[in-house]
Structure 1
Amino acid sequence: MADLTQQEWASQLENDKDAIVLDVRTQDEVDEGYIPEAIHLDIHKGQEFIDEIKKLDPEKSYYVYCRSGGRSGQACSVMNSLGFKKAYNLIGGFSEWKGPSTQ
């Protein structure tokens, strides 16, 4: 897992042809706004979350965010343990996101 600053995350995401954005917040949080084209997988769903992660392509790059960076860090650790080598955590999460979003 790599913790990336907001600027690093946005820059790397923009230049990564294998990039997939993952939103690991609750549905209520997603309803308040999200980064466009993000896949929503609520980390609070435990085994269901892990089962959904296992369906993803481990060769892709995953840019993971939550509200403040804690849950997304946990999600990246889970992904690493499942064989994902490119999982990037957004430091500060969506609460500090300055890029495009739906709100």
Structure 2
Amino acid sequence: MKNILKVLCAALSFIQLGACQDNNDVVVTKVDKAFLKTHAIGKEVQLIDVRTPQEYGVGHIDDAKNINVGSPDFVQQIQGLDKEEPVYLYCKMGGRSNKAAQLLKKQGFTKIYDYTGGYNDWIK
């Protein structure tokens, strides 16, 4: 009887540890133009341009939604995205999209793709 109780306690401990796991094991996948064209362009995906509205207005990838990572309400705005679906991020050259990817990771997103070349690479 004591052994069964020990086994049950151990099992519950492992279950609790799994439930408390953070997103440290979530990997932000760095992608290039070819990957983005194959997996996101022309498809119904969450493609997010994290640049300023002014930059977005000058030019952006078709069907991208603008959510400025520099905006004070960025975290609130990303709550409208589906955490279970992939999110593709880009900025001008890759710095801001990396910052945005880390913020999404902290908010529980698990399928995060960061287009490292950014819009500058896209228009080449």
For the aligned pair, the TM-score class normalised by the smaller chain equals: 0.7 to 0.9
Q: Which has the higher contact order (CA 8 A, sep 6+)?
A: 1
Q: Which runs of 5+ in 2 are unaligned?
A: 1-27
Higher helix share: 2
Q: How many residues align?
A: 97
Letter in 1 for 2:114: N
Task: Check 1:20–1:97 CA distance in 2 against 1; reply closer, same or farther (3 A cut).
Answer: same
Per-residue Cα deviation, 1:80-101 (whole angstroms, up to 9, x for no partner): 11111111100110000059xx
Structure 1 length normalisation: TM-score? 0.85
Q: Percent identity?
A: 30
Q: Which residue of 2 aligns with 1:6?
A: 33
Q: Which residue of 2 aligns with 1:66?
A: 91
Structure 2 length normalisation: TM-score? 0.71
Stretches (4+) displaced over 6 A:
none
Alignment partner of 1:44 is 2:47: no
Q: Which runs of 5+ in 1 are unaligned?
A: none
Over aligned residue pairs, what C-alpha RMSD do you find? 1.8
Greater radius of gyration (CA)? 2
